[in-house]
A and B are shown apart, each in its own frame.
Chain A
Amino acid sequence: MEDHLAEILSTHTGRRSELIPILQEAQEKFGYLSDDVIAEVAEFTHVPESTVFGVASFYTQFRFVPQGRNLISVCRGTACHVRGAPMILDEVSRQLSIEDGGTTPDLEYTLETVACIGCCALAPCLTVNGKVEAKLNPKKVKDLLAKEKANEV
């Protein structure tokens, strides 16, 4: 891990304004921000660790625990909401037996909600590892997840 982080840090100079970009790159690399990463970034940018954690935890993008191999993001944008997003979230949650923000015990899936993925005309939608699934209903969600699970084996 240290090597990778050193590689990221080597492209920065340690200014405070680089804090968020560094954290973004670190998360991109490691999938989440561990305490060790936070400590090292804190030292590099000359700010207390608590401040780095405070900044990171302020923004939705950052995670502090590893996420599942597959990320399901249910859009909770306005257009999706009025077209039934809550039912979609419920269905995913039921199928995977995890709540919003949770990860399955086998680390296979993480479920999150996102503010808006900007596909309002295709509402309601969700993304599986970045790929958009549009115009959903509970039945479609069930089929989709069944397909995903079948692929996984």
Chain B
Amino acid sequence: MKFEEIAQTAKEEWDALQASAKPSIVVGTATCGRAAGAMEVMEALRNELKEREIEANIMETGCFGLCDAEPLITIKGPGGPSVWYRNVTPEMAGKLVEEHIVKGSPVAEHALGAAGDGQVDGLTAMSDLPMLKFQVRRILFNCGVVDPSNINHYIATGGYQALNKVVSGMSPEDIIDEITRSGLRGLGGAGFPVGRKWDSCRRVPSDVRYVVCNADEGDPGAFQDRSVLEGDPYSVVEGMTIAGYAIGAQKGYIYVRAEYPLAVERLENATAQAKEKGLMGKNILGSGFDFDLEIFQGAGAFVCGESTALVLSIEGKRGMPKPLPRPRTTEVGLWDMPTLLNNVKSYSIVPWILTKGADQFASLGTERCKGTAVFSLTGKMANCGLIEVPMGTTLRQIIYDIGGGIPKGKAFKAVQTGGPSGGCLPAELLDTQVDFDKLTAAGAIMGSGGMVVMDEDTCMVDVARYFLDFTQKESCGECSLCRLGTLQMLQTLEAIVAGEGDPDDIDMLLELGEAIKTGSICGLGQSAPNPALTTIRYFRHEYEAHIHEKKCPARVCKDLISYVISADKCKACMICLRECPVDAIRGAKKEVHVIDQDKCIRCGVCMSVCPERFGAVECIPGRLTEADNA
């Protein structure tokens, strides 16, 4: 079939859906939506519609990035307004159907905003929401908008135009030139120029080449690759197909975490549909170009984000990175063939660049980093979610304008970018622009795009300990510096948070960290010390408080805090006393409760059960003993 015909069919289906006389309900059913209960909400809505004998179009979509609003749905009445509803529960289904669909009047109390720029009395337009207003959605263009299991939606919104353009007249050199001119840098975190990588892979003489997509999102604070795979799988598939055409590969692999079952399902569906339409497989769009994709489920190893480890893993081996000196993966990769390895987002933006042009892509960004960056904004934020902003946006803009700042009136302390390989930046660096080079210069990295915001209640020593615990477990064990060095750093940090820190420890952590960074085999080891090094650099006083004063100023480290009950505020309600797992609370009805400091295990249960209106349990830095109670 010709592409024009495919596109026409797709457009008709899409237009018919938009113009449908039936009411429509769109439910965000990505993993995050499901976790919040989206499937139950969808079921409840179906039942309500059935009861009222209303026929409606119910569509699933991917993640729109407004995680705090999940489950998030859009309801469009027949001819009526189109409204986004937030935090929908199955119990709300009846009311939403009755009011919005039957009566045509939106339910303002549950509404997030009016769709797009739409005008609905009393509702903010979605495009005016602070969380969305400052974003530029290119990679996330389709996420949360189209049905990610329907290729026609993707095609109708501009998908596969790039592939069609490519196979019907662009030479591989033209494509690579366009990508190079766009200035796109690898969005997996390292920021290697994508065009140059494609070019070097193409130039290696070989009959067989592979295109591999790294979707092994292992950073424990990032989920944007998952969102793209779940919300817009076709863009990745199309991008990889174009890459195959450009470098001369006929086979591709997507290495996706097995922990992302929905992403796997969507990808499998996407490749099957692409094949059906002749957009993959033999003789793509009659061009004579063959390309096939296989999905490989990673079995859980953070180090497999490293190129040689990922390749070994697909080959069925332990993911132990190959030490330098060695050829690049672009020269000797999968089964020793030249292999192009890029991240999910790097592939998914390729169709955009080839459709809209390199110049338009490069119109955003900083001098050396073009385009946009996607971040998973989490932690102590008013608005958590997935955001896309132009390169060069400042951390302050992201955290305050988009993220809405720190909730509960707490003070900002640090922002962690780049996950276990990244670093923590303090308030003084909030005006740092986000791009590969500037974050690296500040001691953090762009990395996988995780951005975790920390407030005054976050202990920076504990954060360092947390990340070292992670990398230590994820180290492949091959090289002595990483295997033993990260463990040594972890144990030192554990001693510090346990109140057993030694004044020499800070210097030793710095010395160990530098050696591990310099001497380790792969990127995991070379970056593993970063969380500790940056927290020492910017928050040394917290380390010193732990070591010298035996206090955790942020009241996190169990051995260096105490829980106390304020005699003034305690209403002697017995709740904490009953809930305490170790019977460490004394008192009785009408008798103010007291925590036995020697018995207390500082689990925090008392604080979590003390009714908010009393707020009698307090956590204070420093470790009290029973003697202090007297």
Tell whether A and B belong to one assembly: yes
Binding site for B on A (CB under 8 A): 15-21, 23-24, 45, 47, 54-55, 58-62, 76-79, 81-84, 87, 90-91, 94, 114-123, 125, 132, 134, 137-139, 142
> Are the CB atoms of B301 and A82 closer together than 8 Å?
no
> Are the CB atoms of A116 and B223 closer together than 8 Å?
yes
Which residue in chain B gives the minimum CB-CB distance to A59? B299
A-B pairs with beta carbons under 8 Å apart, 23 shown: A16-B315, A16-B317, A19-B316, A21-B296, A24-B258, A55-B316, A77-B220, A77-B221, A79-B378, A79-B384, A81-B466, A87-B604, A90-B603, A91-B603, A115-B220, A115-B470, A116-B222, A118-B259, A120-B452, A132-B34, A132-B36, A138-B604, A139-B608
Binding site for A on B (CB under 8 A): 31-32, 34-36, 67-68, 70, 218-223, 226, 258-260, 296-302, 313-320, 376, 378-380, 384-385, 416, 419, 450, 452, 454, 458, 463, 466-467, 470, 476, 579, 581, 603-605, 608-609
> Are the CB atoms of B220 and A78 closer together than 8 Å?
yes
Nearest CB of chain B from residue A140's CB, rounded to whole Å: 8
Known: A60-B301, A62-B299. 15 other contacts (CB 8 A): A15-B316, A23-B299, A58-B320, A59-B298, A76-B220, A78-B378, A78-B452, A81-B220, A82-B452, A82-B454, A116-B220, A118-B223, A119-B36, A123-B378, A142-B579
- Taking CB atoms, residues of chain B closer than 8 Å to A137 are 608
> Are the CB atoms of B318 and A58 closer together than 8 Å?
yes
Q: Please report the C-alpha to C-alpha distance between residue A47 and residue B316 in the assembled complex, in whole angstroms.
A: 10
Total contacts A-B at CB 8 Å = 146
- Taking CB atoms, residues of chain A closer than 8 Å to B258 are 24, 61
Which residue in chain A gives the minimum CB-CB distance to B334? A17
- Taking CB atoms, residues of chain A closer than 8 Å to B296 are 20-21
Q: Please report the C-alpha to C-alpha distance between residue A107 and residue B388 in the assembled complex, in whole angstroms.
A: 45
Which residue in chain A gives the minimum CB-CB distance to B582? A94
Q: Please report the C-alpha to C-alpha distance between residue A83 and residue B296 in the assembled complex, in whole angstroms.
A: 33
> Are the CB atoms of A117 and B315 closer together than 8 Å?
no
> Are the CB atoms of A59 and B300 closer together than 8 Å?
yes
> Are the CB atoms of A134 and B36 closer together than 8 Å?
yes
Which residue in chain A gives the minimum CB-CB distance to B575? A139
Query: Contacts A79-B221, A82-B454: A114 and B376 contacting too (C-beta < 8 A)?
Result: no
**4 smallest A-B Cβ distances: which pairs?**
A121-B67, A78-B221, A59-B299, A132-B35
Chain A CB count within 10 A is highest, among B219, B220, B463, B605, for B220
> Are the CB atoms of B299 and A61 closer together than 8 Å?
yes
Which residue in chain B gives the minimum CB-CB distance to A27? B299
Interface of B is mostly: mixed
- Taking CB atoms, residues of chain A closer than 8 Å to B450 are 78
> Are the CB atoms of B378 and A120 closer together than 8 Å?
yes
- Taking CB atoms, residues of chain A closer than 8 Å to B298 are 59
Q: Which of B32, B316, B470 is the one whose CB lies under 8 Å from A121?
A: B32
Nearest CB of chain A from residue B457's CB, rounded to whole Å: 8
Query: Contacts A54-B318, A91-B603: A78 and B416 contacting too (C-beta < 8 A)?
Result: yes
- Taking CB atoms, residues of chain B closer than 8 Å to A123 are 378
Nearest CB of chain B from residue A132's CB, rounded to whole Å: 4
Q: Which of A47, A114, A138 is the one whose CB lies under 8 Å from B259?
A: A114
> Are the CB atoms of B379 and A79 closer together than 8 Å?
yes
> Are the CB atoms of B318 and A121 closer together than 8 Å?
no
Which residue in chain B gives the minimum CB-CB distance to A73? B259
Nearest CB of chain B from residue A127's CB, rounded to whole Å: 8
> Are the CB atoms of A61 and B300 closer together than 8 Å?
yes
Which residue in chain A gives the minimum CB-CB distance to B319? A58
Q: Please report the C-alpha to C-alpha distance between residue A130 and residue B379 in the assembled complex, in whole angstroms.
A: 23
Q: Please report the C-alpha to C-alpha distance between residue A56 and residue B611 in the assembled complex, in whole angstroms.
A: 48
Which residue in chain A gives the minimum CB-CB distance to B34? A132
> Are the CB atoms of A118 and B317 closer together than 8 Å?
no
Nearest CB of chain A from residue B428's CB, rounded to whole Å: 20
- Taking CB atoms, residues of chain B closer than 8 Å to A55 are 316-318
Which residue in chain A gives the minimum CB-CB distance to B467? A78
> Are the CB atoms of B315 and A139 closer together than 8 Å?
no
Q: Please report the C-alpha to C-alpha distance between residue A45 and residue B316 in the assembled complex, in whole angstroms.
A: 10
- Taking CB atoms, residues of chain B closer than 8 Å to A17 are 314-316
- Taking CB atoms, residues of chain A closer than 8 Å to B380 are 82-83
> Are the CB atoms of B316 and A20 closer together than 8 Å?
yes
> Are the CB atoms of B605 and A118 closer together than 8 Å?
no
Q: Which of B313, B317, B603 is the one whose CB lies under 8 Å from A138?
A: B603
> Are the CB atoms of A122 and B32 closer together than 8 Å?
yes
- Taking CB atoms, residues of chain B closer than 8 Å to A18 are 316
Q: Please report the C-alpha to C-alpha distance between residue A47 and residue B317 in the assembled complex, in whole angstroms.
A: 11
Which residue in chain B gives the minimum CB-CB distance to A81? B466
- Taking CB atoms, residues of chain B closer than 8 Å to A77 are 220-221
> Are the CB atoms of B218 and A115 closer together than 8 Å?
yes
Q: Please report the C-alpha to C-alpha distance between residue A45 and residue B315 in the assembled complex, in whole angstroms.
A: 12
Which residue in chain B gives the minimum CB-CB distance to A57? B318
Q: Please report the C-alpha to C-alpha distance between residue A30 and residue B319 in the assembled complex, in whole angstroms.
A: 25
Query: Contacts A17-B316, A58-B319, A116-B219: A83 and B379 contacting too (C-beta < 8 A)?
Result: yes
Query: Contacts A55-B318, A78-B416, A114-B259: A120 and B463 contacting too (C-beta < 8 A)?
Result: no
- Taking CB atoms, residues of chain B closer than 8 Å to A121 are 32, 67-68, 70, 378, 384-385
Query: Contacts A59-B301, A62-B299: A82 and B223 contacting too (C-beta < 8 A)?
Result: no
> Are the CB atoms of B378 and A20 closer together than 8 Å?
no
Which residue in chain B gives the minimum CB-CB distance to A75? B220
Which residue in chain A gives the minimum CB-CB distance to B300? A60
Which residue in chain B gives the minimum CB-CB distance to A19? B316
Nearest CB of chain A from residue B256's CB, rounded to whole Å: 12
- Taking CB atoms, residues of chain A closer than 8 Å to B318 are 54-55, 58
- Taking CB atoms, residues of chain A closer than 8 Å to B314 are 17
Q: Please report the C-alpha to C-alpha distance between residue A32 and residue B536 in the assembled complex, in whole angstroms.
A: 42
Q: Please report the C-alpha to C-alpha distance between residue A91 and residue B609 in the assembled complex, in whole angstroms.
A: 14
Q: Which of B35, B315, B419, B470 is the one whose CB lies under 8 Å from A122?
A: B35
> Are the CB atoms of A117 and B259 closer together than 8 Å?
yes
Q: Please report the C-alpha to C-alpha distance between residue A82 and residue B384 in the assembled complex, in whole angstroms.
A: 14
Chain A CB count within 10 A is highest, among B70, B259, B609, for B259
Nearest CB of chain B from residue A31's CB, rounded to whole Å: 15
> Are the CB atoms of B299 and A24 closer together than 8 Å?
yes
